[in-house]
Amino acid sequence: MQSHSLYVSADPSFDRKFAFITYGLLILLIVFFTYLHHGRPDVLQVPGNANVSAWKNPSLEQTNIYDRMTEAERAQVREKGVPGTGILPVLFDSQGDLTAFIFAILCFIHARKHYGFWMASCFLIGSFVFTGLQESIAILLGRFTAGQAYAAAEQVTHGTYFFTKGVLWFIETPVAVCLSWFWIAYACVFTAGKVFPRMGVLGRATIGGLTAMIIDLWLDPVATSPEFMMWLWAKGDLIRVLGINHSNFVGWFLLIFLFAILWEWMPALVRKWGRAKATIAFFGIVLITDVAMLIFLVVYNTYFVRNVLHLFGVSELQIPPGW
Partner 1 sequence: MNVAFASSDRQFGKKFTVVALSLLMAIIIFSTYLHHFRPDVLKVPSNTDVSTWKMTPLEKTWIYDRMTEGERETIRKNGVPGTDAFHLLLYELLSLFGAWMCFVHARKHYSLWMATAFLVGSFVFTGVQETLMILSGRFWMGGGLLDPNVWGSYWFPQGILWFLETPVWVCLCWFLIAYSCVTVAGKVFPRAGLWSRAFAGGMIAMVIDLWEDPVLTSPEHMKWIWAKGDHVGILGIPHGNFIGWFFLIFVFAILWEKYLPVFEKRLGGWGGMTAFMVLLLCCNVIILTILITWGGIANQLFPLPEGLHIPPASWGW
Binding site for partner 1 (CB under 8 A): 68-71, 83-84, 86, 88-89, 93, 190-191, 194-195, 215, 218-219, 221-222, 225-229, 242, 320, 322-323
Task: Kindly provide the b/e burial profile for residues 220-230, where b requires at least 16 CB atoms within 10 angstroms of the residue's own CB.
Answer: bbebbbbebbb
| Shortest Cβ 283–partner 1 spacing (Å) | 30
Q: Which is nearer to partner 1, 10 or 195 (CB)?
A: 195
| Shortest Cβ 268–partner 1 spacing (Å) | 26
Q: Which is nearer to partner 1, 84 or 267 (CB)?
A: 84
| Shortest Cβ 226–partner 1 spacing (Å) | 8
Q: Which is nearer to partner 1, 39 or 321 (CB)?
A: 321
Backbone dihedral region for residue 316 (phi beyond 0: left; psi -120 to 50: alpha; all else: beta): beta
Q: Which is nearer to partner 1, 1 or 258 (CB)?
A: 1
| Shortest Cβ 222–partner 1 spacing (Å) | 5
| Shortest Cβ 66–partner 1 spacing (Å) | 10
Report the alpha-carbon angle 223-134-17, nearest 5: 110
| Shortest Cβ 48–partner 1 spacing (Å) | 18
Distances (CA, A) of 210 to 63, 128, 193, 233: 27, 19, 13, 22
d(CA 89, CA 220): 17
Report the alpha-carbon angle 52-58-62, nearest 5: 90
Closest to 223 (Cα-Cα) out of 83, 99, 28, 38 = 83
| Shortest Cβ 176–partner 1 spacing (Å) | 15
Closest to 161 (Cα-Cα) out of 175, 169, 173 = 173
d(CA 116, CA 121): 9
Q: Which is nearer to partner 1, 180 or 279 (CB)?
A: 180
Q: Which is nearer to partner 1, 65 or 120 (CB)?
A: 65
Q: Which is nearer to partner 1, 228 or 253 (CB)?
A: 228
Q: Which is nearer to partner 1, 12 or 320 (CB)?
A: 320
| Shortest Cβ 272–partner 1 spacing (Å) | 32
